[in-house]
Amino acid sequence: MARDLYADIQEVLVSEEQLNQRTQEIAAEIDARYGAIDGADEILLIGVLKGCYMFMADLSRAIKHPHRVDFMAVSSYGNSTKTSGAVQIILDLQKDISGKHVIIVEDIIDTGLTLQYLRKNLIARRPKSLEICSLLSKPARHKVEIPVDYLGFEVPDEFVVGYGLDFAQLYRNLPFVAILKPEVFS
């Protein structure tokens, strides 16, 4: 019998309906910002894999302004629930971003160290602009301040899964964001 992932959930923090509504709101904010820039070129959304994939797909469908997508894969967790602090680029961008309006799309900002590294790396590639969009943020865990332009939700210092976020590559398919029962990962 298949494992019941729902049985491992302690509490739903952000429902499917809340995720959909906030994603639509963020898309409208992005459309308003880039629509207000005279002659604004298309936007390049850079998704940070793997956790961003559901959020980025929904966000991309909701943004009306012309945009392209690309992906990077970075790792600082492995199969742990805590970041190691050492960031490794596993998959880099396919195209040059110099002179482009770039929005990094992230699933969650935990300590901020991975995003700080990624932001510096991308700024060195000379985009026209660089903004950050994150579905979630855990302010209690931040070690560095990161300028976030578009934020979905703040969550408590708990291990969260669902809507692309995982533990040991499971739970990404849950249609909500939830706290994982501690006995599952301890």
Sign of CA dihedral 171, 9, 186, 77: positive
CA neighbours closer than 13 Å in the CB half-sphere of residue 112: 13
Distance CA 9, CA 40 (A): 43
Active site residue 110: yes
| Annotated catalytic residue, options 8, 58, 107, 110 | 110
- The residues pairing with 68 across neighbouring beta strands, listed in sequence order, are 44
Distance CA 23, CA 152 (A): 7
Place of tokens 């899964």: 161
Tokens encoding 161: 């899964």
Q: Residues with catalytic annotation?
A: 110
